[in-house]
Amino acid sequence: MELIKPGSKIPFTRYRKIALIVSTIVNLAVLAFLFVKGPNLGVDFAGGTIVQLKFQQRATIPDIRQALESVGLGGSTIQEFGQEGAFEFLVRVEKAGVEVAALSDQMKKALAGKFGADKVEIRRVEYVGPKIGEDLRWRGTISVIAATVMMGVYIWIRFASAFGARFGLHFGIGAVIALIHDVLVTVGALMLANYEFDLTVVAALLTIVGFSVNDTVVICDRIRENLRKIRRESLETIINTSINETLSRTILTTGTALLVLLALYLLGGAVIRPFAFALLVGFTSGVYSTIFIASPVILLWDKSFKK
């Protein structure tokens, strides 16, 4: 079976201008969105408490709110969680007027009073203090940036020996720009889908950074090889040939990864869903960015240096 017929000659770099324009607009939009509205921070980063409840029988959000009002928690955010009909809810308390340590206990008493003690179960409590939240936010951001830069440096060093330091640097920068694109696209998609940003999202972003760079590495590797083999062609042609030659690999690899992610997204449960969603978006974006961003950036830089 073959997805891409051998000898395909799609002139990818020809679309680089439109790709760069579209991607720049998308990325700027995400940045604007990020700074104007700001991401929807989960308790990991914003601090606060979430309590996951499971009821044995039908319960509605107004019922729960009413029960929680008796202990002064009526202002909490309550949302359904997990599969429909599972009667699972997530209650988020931003800043508790009551002592945090006793929060879940109070909540349990209030709910037991309304629904019956054996009808409601507290399945999960997460509390993150404001200072810890700030610390995690900072460290999360730093680690994503550090990983991105590290990938660039790795590629730079890796290809510097083959092409010389300057050209290796172009590959590194191309990769970093592609990665920033993937991270931003994923962040934008998470915001659009209204997912909360928490530790698992950072884990997803770091995985995207580590995985998306693979395609870039493979294509750069092929460019290096073709530069030796085909000496008469222009760099643009060589880049196109290299992208075409590795195209089926790029699609296959991401394809199998997307298959398992789809399984995780659909079957892995509500806790893992945002994580799987982020990876689905990020990996897909990784294919696009490698082909339409990383490679043209190499070209762009090369041209500007030749002048």
Partner 1 sequence: MRRGVLTRVITFSVLALLALLFLAPNFLGKKDSSGKAEMPGWWPGFLPSDVIHLGLDLQGGSHLVLEVKLDKAIENHMERLKGDLTTSFRDKGISGVSVERVEFTQLQIKVASASVERVRAILKADFGNLSEAKTAQMSASGTDFHMTLNREETRALRDYIVDQSLETIRNRIDQFGVSEPVIQRQGIDHILVQLPGIQDPQRAKDIIGKTALLEFKLVDDNVNPEEAVKNGAPPGRQVLFGQVGKGSAGVGAVKAPYVLEARTLMTGEYIQDAKVRPGEQLQGPYVELILNDQGARLFEQITAANVKRRMAIVLDNNVYSAPVIQERIGGGRASITGSFDIKEARDLSIVLRAGALPAPVEIVEERTVGPSLGRDSINQGITSFIVGGAFVILFMIAYYKGAGLVAVVALVFNVVFMISMLAGFQAVLTLPGIAGIVLTVGMAVDANVLINERIREEIRAGRAVRSAIEAGYQNALPAILDSNITTFLSGVILFQFGTGPIKGFAVTLCIGILTTVITAVYLTRVYYDYRIGTRRLERISI
Of 106-125, binders to partner 1 (CB under 8 A) are 121-125
Nearest Cα residue to 145 out of 193, 209, 86: 209
Rule CB under 8 A: which of 241-260 touch partner 1? Answer: 245-246, 248-249, 252-253, 255-260
CB 110 within 8 A of CB 67: yes
User: Could you identify the residue written with the tokens 């201008």?
Assistant: 17
Which residue's CB is nearer to partner 1, number 38 or number 269?
269
CB of 151 to partner 1, least distance (A): 6
Answer for which of 73, 93, 111, 128 binds partner 1 (CB under 8 A) is 128
Residues forming beta bridges with residue 122, ordered by sequence position: 53
CA distance 221 to 261: 27
Q: Which of 22, 102, 157, 230 binds partner 1 (CB under 8 A)?
A: 102
Task: Pick the closer one to partner 1 by CB: 19 or 51.
Answer: 51
Length of the chain: 307
Stretch that binds partner 1, among 9-17, 186-194, 266-274, 289-297 (CB under 8 A): 266-274
What pairing do the DSSP bridges indicate for beta strands 77-80 and 120-128? unpaired
157 is a site residue for partner 1 (CB under 8 A): no
Toward partner 1, which CB reaches closer, 114 or 249?
249
Residues 55, 87, 197, 275: which binds partner 1 (CB under 8 A)?
Answer: 275
Would you say 155 and 215 are in contact if contact means Cβ atoms under 8 Å apart?
no
Least gap, CB of 289 to partner 1 (angstroms)? 15
Residues 45/140, Cβ–Cβ less than 8 Å: yes
Indicate the Cα dihedral angle 255, 257, 258, 259, nearest 10°.
90
Helix (H, G, I), strand (E, B) or coil at 53: strand
Question: 15 vs 211, which CB is nearer to partner 1?
Answer: 211
The stretch among 9-17, 21-29, 189-197, 272-280 that binds partner 1 (CB under 8 A) is 272-280
Q: Tell me how far, at minimum, the Cβ of 87 lies from partner 1, in Å.
A: 13
